[in-house]
């Protein structure tokens, strides 16, 4: 049935609403009342209501998309096959100018009526699993098992569900929305995807990562990490005939023992672990080489740097002690930084966090929203002072980074619904609300 078009001029109530929001933004950060007013106006909009309903009705198809993405391998540094598929899906959903950048990120821009602010919403393409891993989805009793089914195939599927709902309902935002499938989020990818994104796009005003599942948890703090590989080298030799030579493995063992006794603060949470070790050639040989990799993390840059300095000193002490034990100078240690994820924090009273909190509360009816720190693609934005949060994609799951990763699509649709409301509040709904996200000066 064809309905007559609504008058093109705004109502008095709408003019008052826009005046309130515009006044708050002109004075700097939008007030809590302005954010509340925008939130209520968006929730009351018929197109938004229909889009939320569409996302829920599309839940089963989104889950099928999630499983399809999961079964496209995306090992570290080898995400291209999945990227090609994701590019195709962006184009099929109306973003014809979508492309893959030089780093491998899939990028698509959905233009707004004003062209600013520019908000990125992203999920990561890569998994932690090496090439050759069986990524076949197995289903039993309403639960699916597959490596990467939740991390982050769910986030990728949620972005597609959001995009489809926006386009089907012809929802126009004030600001531009950049949809991105990033590479290099996991393991030694070292956030190379978002590092390239922010290097090449200096006009990004806000950033959302959809990663993980928990809906009542908002990540507004970036857990920084430094990762090192330490390679101990010595002369090597026969265990009996050349006994008395220093051992690379013994030097590494001394280092591990020293590191294991370190004390770190619980607030801000600061952690360390020697994650991998290898070396030696035979049980009856004095090891000529040994290497270990260590991961250090903290929610504070200062504490991370303090921990790093202690660890590096202890590693050098261990090599010196092994040499001293055998009156030698043959043991050396090479120290190489192999991972650097910056720390950062976005204040709980910032517009991006407050907009997200209101969206989460409205969608999930959660009695309490928690704020947390984690290591995600949002780290980079937070470290640059760019407003950023990480949101859950919806559903239930566990056993992350294992071959037994599992997922249950219980109320999974709330993930893309939450993303929709958050995006609309930050970007603004044309003719209804102004953006709650400020346009930043070019970097």
Q: Where in the chain is the domain with CATH 3.40.630.10?
A: 12-223+343-427
Instruction: Tell me the C-alpha distance between 323 and 331, whole Å.
Output: 6
**Structure confidence by residue, pLDDT tens digits, 161-183:** 999 999 999 999 999 999 999 99
Q: Where in the chain is the domain with CATH 3.30.70.360?
A: 225-341
Is pLDDT at 14 greater than 90 in this prediction? no
Q: What is the CATH number of domain 225-341?
A: 3.30.70.360
**Structure confidence by residue, pLDDT tens digits, 71-119:** 999 999 999 999 999 999 999 999 999 999 999 999 999 999 999 999 9
Q: Is 162 exposed, middle or buried (0-12, 13-18, 19+ CB in 10 A)?
A: buried
Instruction: Tell me the C-alpha distance between 127 and 134, whole Å.
Output: 12
Is pLDDT at 244 greater than 60 in this prediction? yes
pLDDT value of residue 28: 57
| Closest by CA position to 377, among listed 99, 88, 152 | 152
Is pLDDT at 260 greater than 80 in this prediction? yes
Is pLDDT at 10 greater than 80 in this prediction? no
Q: Is 33 exposed, middle or buried (0-12, 13-18, 19+ CB in 10 A)?
A: exposed
Q: What is the CATH number of domain 12-223+343-427?
A: 3.40.630.10
How many Å separate Cα 190 from the centre of its chain?
Answer: 11
């Amino acid at each position: 049935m064809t309905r007559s078009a609504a008058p093109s001029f705004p109502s008095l109530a709408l003019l008052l609403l826009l005046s309130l929001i515009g006044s708050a933004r002109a004075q700097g950060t939008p007030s809590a009342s302005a954010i509340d007013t925008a939130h209520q106006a968006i929730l009351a909009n018929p197109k938004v209501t229909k889009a939320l309903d569409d996302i829920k009705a599309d839940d089963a198809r989104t889950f099928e998309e999630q499983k399809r993405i999961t079964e496209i391998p995306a090992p570290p540094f080898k995400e291209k096959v999945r990227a090609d598929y994701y590019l195709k899906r962006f184009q099929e959903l109306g973003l014809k100018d979508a492309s893959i950048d030089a780093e491998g990120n899939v990028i698509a821009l959905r233009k707004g009526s004003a062209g600013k602010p520019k908000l990125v919403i992203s999920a990561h393409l890569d998994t932690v699993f090496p090439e050759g891993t069986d990524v076949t989805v197995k289903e039993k009793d309403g639960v699916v098992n597959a490596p990467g089914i939740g991390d982050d195939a769910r986030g990728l599927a949620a972005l597609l569900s959001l995009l489809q709902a926006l386009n089907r309902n012809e929802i126009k935002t004030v600001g531009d929305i950049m949809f991105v499938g990033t590479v290099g989020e996991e393991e030694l990818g070292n956030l190379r995807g978002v590092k390239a994104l922010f290097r090449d796009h200096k006009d990004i005003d806000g950033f959302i990562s959809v990663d993980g599942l928990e809906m009542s948890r908002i990540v507004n703090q970036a857990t920084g990490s430094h990762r090192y590989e330490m390679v101990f080298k010595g002369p090597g030799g026969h265990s009996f005939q050349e006994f008395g030579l220093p051992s690379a493995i013994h030097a590494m063992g001394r280092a591990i023992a020293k590191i294991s006794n370190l004390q770190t603060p619980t607030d801000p949470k600061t952690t360390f672990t020697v994650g991998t070790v290898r070396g030696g050639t035979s049980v009856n040989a004095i090891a000529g080489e040994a290497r270990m990799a260590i991961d250090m993390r903290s929610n504070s840059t200062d504490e991370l740097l303090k921990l790093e300095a202690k660890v590096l000193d202890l590693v050098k002490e261990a090599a010196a002690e092994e040499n001293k034990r055998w009156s030698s100078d043959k043991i050396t240690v090479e120290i190489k930084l192999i991972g650097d994820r910056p720390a950062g924090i976005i204040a709980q009273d910032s517009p991006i966090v407050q907009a997200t909190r209101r969206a989460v509360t409205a969608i999930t009816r959660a009695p309490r929203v928690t704020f947390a720190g984690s290591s995600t693609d949002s780290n980079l934005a937070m470290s640059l002072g760019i407003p950023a949060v990480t949101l859950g994609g919806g559903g239930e799951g566990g056993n992350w980074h294992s071959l037994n990763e599992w997922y249950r699509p219980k109320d999974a649709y709330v993930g893309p619904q939450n993303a929709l409301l958050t995006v609309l509040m930050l970007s603004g709904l044309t003719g209804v609300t102004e953006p709650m996200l400020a346009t930043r000066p070019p970097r």
